[in-house]
Amino acid sequence: MAVLTYREALNRAMTEEMEKDPNIFLMGEEVGHYEGAYKVSQGMLAKFGEKRVIDTPISENGFAGVGIGAAMVGLRPIIEFMTWNFSLVAIDQIINSAAKMNYMSAGQFPIPIVFRGAGGAGGRLAAQHSQSFESWYAHIPGLKVLAPYTPADAYGLLKTSIRDNNPTIFIESEVLYGSKGEVPEGEFSIPMGKADIKREGTQLTIVSWSRALMYVLPAAEKLAKEGISVEVLDLRSIRPLDEEAILTSVRKTNRALIVEEGWNVAGFGAQVAYLIQKDAFDYLDSPVERITQEDVPMPYAANLERSSLPSEEKIIQKVRSMIK
């Protein structure tokens, strides 16, 4: 096992795929000469040259559209948004072109494109740069949505995304880029639509994904010291969703708590809660609960930002109340 940072795992996945397939290219703001806003593309310009690692103007709508057009004629673009907050400028291209072109052309135009970049809150980046958009994009038929937590998952899922013939939304938490984890030395991929049990438990299931697991896993450790056994299920793949993994876990533990970084109203956790009450209602010993970001634009002040987000303390208190 190699120990890699999250950004190194992403870099390795892209580099390996680009070495094998000359039709793959990376395009976005500062991906080349600056080596990526978060240094994910470090060394790739020197290796592949300016025709395959392409710096763009600050025009998300433009380079997203160029990428979709390139995918229509057989290339396999990786489009980096400096942050998913900036994808709003390109949302018409993503939703009305990338997501629908294959369907509207009766299969004549597959769109093998990956849109990737930093999502969620960073640290004191305030309201316009701290938003979680997985529920937005998961709402759209034709898009696949991934949000990995560990370096190994980021590597394996990005390789799968690059090889897929459908547009993929690949959301990388901004605060995870420097996190480290074991990644197998050999090449591997992880299928979409397969959740992962990050911790086995018997009394309650916490369903989560991406950065929120930073709070969930330590909370589960502390709860274990109190004699409360929590199972932690990392979705990894938002769409397609591993419904069976969720239901199997809840049917075992009889309780479910969903923890997400995004807002409560119409958040993706609401879809998970609907699934549980629909197909595992008779197994529940307490109502399905959710912990989300507070229903406010992200504050700039560090103390208010912390208060707005999920936390270990909020999770521990909620689990205690559900186990009583």
Residue whose entry in the numeric block shows the structure tokens 């703001």:
29
* Beta-bridge partners for 196: 234
Paired tokens of 312: 């270990």
How far is CA 220 from each of CA 166, 190, 207, 247, 293, rounded to the nearest angstrom?
A: 36, 25, 12, 20, 19
* Helix (H), strand (E) at residue 243: helix 243-253
Catalytic residue check, 19: no
Paired tokens of 100: 């629908």
Q: Specify the DSSP class assigned to residue 97.
A: I
- The catalytically annotated residue of 8, 60, 80, 174 is 60
Catalytic residue check, 60: yes
- The catalytically annotated residue of 29, 80, 129, 261 is 129
Distance CA 8, CA 81 (A): 18
How far is CA 88 from each of CA 133, 137, 280, rounded to the nearest angstrom?
A: 10, 11, 36
Distance CA 65, CA 302 (A): 36
| Residues 102 and 60 sit within 8 Å (Cβ to Cβ) | no
| Residue 87 DSSP SS3 | helix
Residues annotated catalytic, as ranges? 60, 129
